[in-house]
Structure 1
Amino acid sequence: MGLLSILRKLKSTPDQEMRILLLGLDNAGKTTLLKTLASEDVTHITPTQGFNIKSVQSQGFKLNVWDIGGQRKIRPYWRNYFENTDVLFYVIDSADRKRFEETGQELAELLEEEKLDGVPVLLFANKQDLLTAAPASEIAEGLNLHTMRDRIWHIQACSALTGEGVHDGMTWVCKNMTRKKK
């Protein structure tokens, strides 16, 4: 079942538009995830130097996904994209355990941002197709996600490369958008 099929089934209001901000460290798989959501070829991905925007439309839904580069020098500019965000997608490379502390710090800083106050968070524990990947539950525990009380959140194990788990994350988003309060 593709993203468009899921959206058709979960459509709750006509002409619903969502602004999704897609963030995470460099090499986490953000652009691969975006291309998977748009049903595009993922065989040739290059690092994002600025940002990518994709809109997916289907029977009253319009998802505007902003994929912002994750290199250290670009991260200070993330805040320029916070306004009017409906959902934050945060992508974590589950196989890069050396960077768990860094990604946790970046996530914590994002969650403190006033313009993202109360914005639902979908964390994609990406690269689950790799043998060295930490399970989503281990990542959630390591990032102390259970202490997050000011917003709804979900961690979704996935492989952006194979598409496994990606649409499950989108199902969560569609089901929970009615709970979002600005």
Structure 2
Amino acid sequence: MYTLLSGLYRYYTQKDEYCIVILGLDNAGKTTYLEAAKTKFTKNYKGMNPAKITTTVGLNIGQIDVFGIRLNFWDLGGQTELQSLWDKYYEECHGVIYVIDSNDRERMDESKEIFDTMIQNEHLSGVPLLVLANKQDLPDVMGVREIKPVFQQAGDLIGRRDCLTMPVSALTGEGVDEGIKWLVEAVKRNSIVRPPMEND
């Protein structure tokens, strides 16, 4: 009897799980964004002090339960020597968040190059893509109107997948809710092609 009740409980409480990779150049604000998402969507989670967030060397992992599903985040280091490891995560991911430092005009071309290389990978074909123009809290940053055309040059590579470019400030949390909500809907729509992870 216990086994039956335990099985029923698990059946009714388990959530579909989706894996999301967070990519972008180093110092774009990927880890700060992940912390903001965890703070917004996880009850009683206080979050790290943004001043104490350092450059990711390797991988940060985060998780939030939101709108009836579980999102597992893989926040990957953006340094040049770590970018070659990104594709090891593509086959298992259900969505991509690509973070752009809107305040770093000098590295915009580099960010676009890395974006193009990433989006061409066959394992990401059709995977929903959320492009975040981060650091919008700073003065004189590039807005979405300025950034979007640069990244839309890869329109043929982006294809017909769900794709959204939006302004955010990972530091203040502005735009974080909207991006996560959109991503949840996108990975659910795409679950016919890329179903959620198997729960044991």
Taking structure 1 as the reference length, the TM-score comes to 0.87
Aligned pairs for 1:102-141 (under 5 A) are 102-141=110-149
Gaps of 5+ in 1: 1-13
Structure with larger Rg: 2
Indicate conservation of the 8 Å contact 1:16/1:61, yes or no.
yes
Indicate conservation of the 8 Å contact 2:116/2:154, yes or no.
no
CA-to-aligned-CA distance 1:51-80 (integer Å, 9 cap, x gap): 000112357421100000000111111111
> Superposition RMSD on alpha carbons, in Å?
1.8
1:172 aligns with 2:198: no
Q: Which residue of 2 aligns with 1:5?
A: none
The whole-number CA distance in structure 2 between the counterparts of 1:145 and 1:174 is 26
- The structure-2 alpha-carbon separation of the partners of 1:36 and 1:143, relative to structure 1 and needing over 3 Å to count, comes to same
Indicate conservation of the 8 Å contact 1:140/1:146, yes or no.
no
Which structure's residues are more often helix, by fraction?
2
The whole-number CA distance in structure 1 between the counterparts of 2:144 and 2:18 is 25
Q: Which moved more, 1:140-149 or 1:72-81?
A: 140-149
The whole-number CA distance in structure 2 between the counterparts of 1:90 and 1:58 is 20
Q: Which residue of 2 aligns with 1:23?
A: 23
Taking every aligned residue pair, what percent have the same amino acid on both sides?
Answer: 38
Give runs of ≥4 in structure 1 deviating > 6 Å: none
Q: Which residue of 2 aligns with 1:76?
A: 84
Indicate conservation of the 8 Å contact 2:126/2:159, yes or no.
no
CA-to-aligned-CA distance 1:116-171 (integer Å, 9 cap, x gap): 11101001100000112111121111122582323110011000000001111011
Deviation at 1:83, TM superposition (A): 1.7
Aligned pairs for 1:3-152 (under 5 A) are 15-39=15-39, 40-41=47-48, 42-58=50-66, 60-144=68-152, 147=155, 148-152=158-162
| Count of matched residue pairs | 170
Indicate conservation of the 8 Å contact 1:156/1:168, yes or no.
no
Deviation at 1:174, TM superposition (A): 1.9
Taking structure 2 as the reference length, the TM-score comes to 0.80
Gaps of 5+ in 2: 1-13, 40-46, 195-200
Q: Which residue of 2 aligns with 1:10?
A: none
